[in-house]
Structure 1
Amino acid sequence: MATTKWTIDPTHSEIGFKVKHMMFTNVSGKFGTYDATITTENDNFENATIEFSADIDSIDTNNTDRDNHLKSGDFFDADNYPKLTFKASTFTKNGNDYELTGDLKLRDITKSVKFPVEFSGLLTDPWGNTKVGLNIEGKINRKDWGLNWNSALETGGVLVGEEVKLNIDLQFVKL
């Protein structure tokens, strides 16, 4: 069976996240530099091979001091671990959409994660390129990957929430 390769379209993709700050508001951020590929059997996405990586130095929360803190040893330790990576173990159809399971590696820790995926189906853009869109929303606990830094608040609670909400919009183009 023939395989089909898909590559990410970075101008139409976003790797976003949100974390609670001071227990009541969200800080949003994104990664600006990343790469992803999908390999499918023909145009069938079930059991696709999916690989993703993001450069930690490209983290952007709209605040340089906070970004530098996130890159430091308190969080991602970008000097020693310059990339986060994800490699799918399964991509299975669930109704009209999919469920994605795989290994997420942050710092030197790899953990299995599972996320629902909204699947757009195959579309052709005005220039004749075949594209597919995936929207992934999910949650992880940053402490599962050793991102433990925090600061207690005088009023109780902590400065940075443990739960990280992911909102990832990916558009791929068929090669």
Structure 2
Amino acid sequence: MKKLLTMFITFFKIGAFTFGGGYAMIPLIEAEVVDKQNWIDKEEFLDIIVISQSFPGALAVNSSVFIGYKIGGLIGAVLALMGVVLPSFFIILIVAHFFLQFRNNHIVDLLFKGISAAVPVLVLSGIDKLAKSLDKSVDNLIILIISIVAVTIFNIHPILIISFAAIYGILFLRKKVD
């Protein structure tokens, strides 16, 4: 029970102190779950992030459910989900209640500009950590380059990229793992 409570508090902190969505949460989730608590190893974390991106929904929500389930089964999944979602829920309620009073406040405007400037750095930090743990193979490099080109130049939807990469992995990379 203590481990489940610790997990809930950990995900609550992550949800409360991360701005910028799921990708900005990756470094914090990794620091807490892999480095500090040692609930999963780095390779499992990377697998969970990949699976979480493949499912519909927010990355932080999906990954918290997977990690919570690994740690505490169904109850762990629910507690991790509630931990990561409740801070946003409460913050949105508070902001919605007071927003009309402060929406034209210069200080509030500057606060949001400062936060929004930091978010891309958090996302890049997550990408950097994921890239370091990625297997440096020719196949992965080709998939990476094709994915970047497809998204940035040809505007192909990321869901299609993930689907094609998964099919490619099943069809062509299976022999290398077997």
- 1 or 2, which has the higher helix percentage? 2
Q: Judge same fold: TM > 0.5, yes or no.
A: no
- 1 or 2, which has the higher strand percentage? 1
TM-score normalized by the length of structure 2? 0.27
Larger radius of gyration, structure 1 or 2? 2
